[in-house]
A and B are shown apart, each in its own frame.
Chain A
Amino acid sequence: MTDALLAGDLPLPPRPDYLRHGSTIASWLTTTDHKRIAILYAITITFFFFLGGAAVTAVRLELFEPNGWLLTSDTYNKLFSFHGIIMVWFFLVPSIPNTLGNFLLPLMIGAPDVAFPRLNLFSWYLTIAAGAFTVYALLAGGVDTGWTFYTPYSSMFSNSHVFAAAAGVFVVGFASIATGVNFIATTHMLRAPGMTWFRLPLFVWAIYATSLIMVLATPVLAISLLLVIAERVLGLPIFDPARGGDPILFQHLFWFYSHPAVYIMVLPAMGVVSEVIPCFARRRIFGYDFMVYAMLAIAGIGFFVWGHHMFVSGQSALASLVFSFLSFIIAVPSAIKVFNWTASLFRGQISFESPMLYSLGFVGLFTTGGLSGLFLASIPVDVHVTDTYFVVAHFHYIMVGGSVSAFFAGLHFWWPKVTGKLYPESWAKFAAILMYAGFNMTFLPQFFAGYLGMPRRYHTYPAEFQIYNVMSSAGAGVLAVAYLLPLGYLTWSLFYGGRAGNNPWAATGLEWTTTSPPPPKNFDRQPRVDRGPYEYHAEGMSAGTDAPEVQNARDIR
């Protein structure tokens, strides 16, 4: 085989790529192509992202003034609840796994599709149905329980549309389970010849670990919401303390899902960053094996720490102690990952393209969020700052600073592959830096306000906290611009962007060996894999400067 053939540059017979392979609406709505389903998901979550964003814009506007000026307290409660529900279940949980993961998992392992393509489409329809329930809950008057649906408020007292919202989350949970089952089976059964477990890109490992959590944790969320619905609709006394029920049990069930769900949201982000950093540092990832073990450890231990959300709930002191200890343990694999990302930069040929800027932003913000998590794992500090803005800042550093930054990193990194178009790089760099600045401006003051005692979920606050809230709200405005920019220039690039080559970043990895955009069955030739995923330079050398070799391919037609 010649080098040209190896590089995949041989002129192949013309055939439509997946985007032009059928152009009717029906061909999209009945597609079983994982790449098209990824696009369907991308459109869906973009819609929900801006819906959830609109809700929080109103919240931040309200918080400009200590005593409120825009919303009633009732509307305020409904808006932050809606923001949480939408952002957690309809944006963050499906964001990276169902868009980038769906698109890339088969490409990265050299497969023509996921293991169960029809189940994949079914999962999208479930998401749509669930979204309809949730949007109905908003239109019908909203739900005011917060995204956590805590009992007995949600089951006995709230007069808002808890049923519709809980039903929406219940249904989207099954979409999540279906996706998880699909991805696990795909990773196990459809790897290309030579694609051994320790040659998998870390993004695939991340999606795999995420899928494990989706499959094993989500059913418990379904039960916790089913019990709330049953109590509301059928009058069962399960969480009613006056009739012998146990409201704290709800928190156990809810957090058994919702703490691992944090890792559903952040593990895929770690996967994206682990792809982007080696590419733009032209370095092998440092400590590949430990990155894998760390991700599996995070997925596993993530199940054993849920009680740190319940230190002030009345759970027993022994349980708090156990959960606190386990919560400290999970910092270890997270720290391994952060150190390995930074070590991967050492002796690299670093260039600061937009995906790299987003990824470096992720590492910093995730570290800040993670370290503030250690404060919260410690019982005495947690008791002091429970339900304050300290907690709000902490999890936004992980979820928004971490996951959303990484989502944008991945979006930019793989945009040429997904669409075949190049986006305007200077705009992208500007947006990345603006997002980092806007994010810190929004959430850093919340650490201070929270530490000084400002409680979350109130629409009024003492005047002494106004300075922090004004900073935060102003930052949110900057952040909103930074989120709208990519919507503009990425859409622009669809029509006017330059043609992207097969491998615009000179990255390793199977997805870059096929055309941009890929053909319907992903590869014209069955890929064969004979080495690891990040061979940017020879072993033992420092950063590579040349384009890496691409994988072998053999004809399957």
Chain B
Amino acid sequence: MSAPPGHATGAGRLWRKNLVIWAALLALLLLSLGIAYVPMGRITVAAGIVIAVMKSALVLLLFMELAKSGSLIRLAAIAGLVFLIAMFGLALTDVLTRT
């Protein structure tokens, strides 16, 4: 095991990196709060969801380190997503076209 380069530097580097992500998450939270009060109809609804997607992408890729993970773990994450989309897609095929 390589010698630790000193407490402060190792910890400091981690704090700097993760605090930036955290700040971005909180900024997005405030952004979605603000947009919710702007009357744009469906776009307001969509904006809330898009921002949620962005926030969860940050958590998934950086906090959960999916960006650094091997293909196997990415595959596991994507599999869940694919079948989630299939479930929404096919169920809404019915709900949106009912007469």
Contacts and interface: CB of A to CB of B under 8 A. Distances in A.
Contact of A319 (B79, B80, B97): B97
Interface in B32-84: 72, 79-80, 83
Nearest to B94: A319
Nearest to B84: A216
Interface in A224-280: 248-249, 252, 256
A35 to B, nearest CB: 27
Interface string A60-84: 0000000000000000000000000
Contact of B87 (A212, A248, A256, A322): A256
Contacts of B80: 216
A318 to B, nearest CB: 4
Interface string B13-46: 0000000000000000000000000000000000
B90 A307 contact: yes
A314 B98 CA distance: 8
A317 B97 CA distance: 8
Nearest to B96: A316
A220 interface: yes
Contacts of B72: 188
Given A188-B72, A322-B93, A303 B86 contact: yes
B86 to A, nearest CB: 6
B96 to A, nearest CB: 8
A322 B94 CA distance: 10
A304 B94 contact: no
Contacts of B83: 216-217, 303
Interface string A194-217: 000000000000000000100011
B11 interface: no
Given A188-B72, A216-B79, A216-B80, A318 B87 contact: no
Contacts of B87: 220, 256, 303
Given A212-B79, A303-B83, A316 B91 contact: no
B9 interface: no
Contacts of A216: 79-80, 83
A323 interface: yes
A318 B97 contact: yes
A255 to B, nearest CB: 10
A304 B95 CA distance: 16
A551 B72 CA distance: 28
A315 interface: yes
B2 interface: no
Interface residues of B, number: 15
A95 B97 CA distance: 39
A304 B86 CA distance: 7
A310 B87 CA distance: 15
Contacts of A217: 83
A315 B86 contact: no
A304 B93 CA distance: 12
A127 B79 CA distance: 26
B53 to A, nearest CB: 20
Contacts of A310: 94
A307 B79 contact: no
B98 A316 contact: yes
Contact of B90 (A249, A304, A317): A304
Contacts of B97: 316-319
Determine which residue in B72, B90, B95, B97 has the highest number of CB atoms from chain A within 10 A of its CB, and name it. B90
Contacts of A316: 93-99
Interface in A159-213: 188, 212
Interface in A293-344: 303-304, 306-307, 310, 314-319, 322-323
Determine which residue in B83, B86, B99 has the highest number of CB atoms from chain A within 10 A of its CB, and name it. B83
Contacts of A307: 90, 94
Interface of B: 72, 79-80, 83, 86-87, 90-91, 93-99
24 contacts: A212-B79, A216-B80, A216-B83, A217-B83, A220-B87, A249-B91, A249-B95, A252-B91, A252-B94, A256-B87, A303-B86, A310-B94, A314-B98, A315-B94, A315-B98, A316-B93, A316-B94, A316-B97, A316-B98, A318-B93, A318-B97, A319-B90, A319-B93, A322-B90
Given A216-B79, A318-B93, A318-B97, 17 more contacts: A188-B72, A216-B83, A217-B83, A249-B91, A249-B95, A252-B91, A252-B94, A256-B87, A303-B86, A304-B90, A306-B90, A307-B90, A307-B94, A316-B93, A316-B98, A322-B93, A323-B90
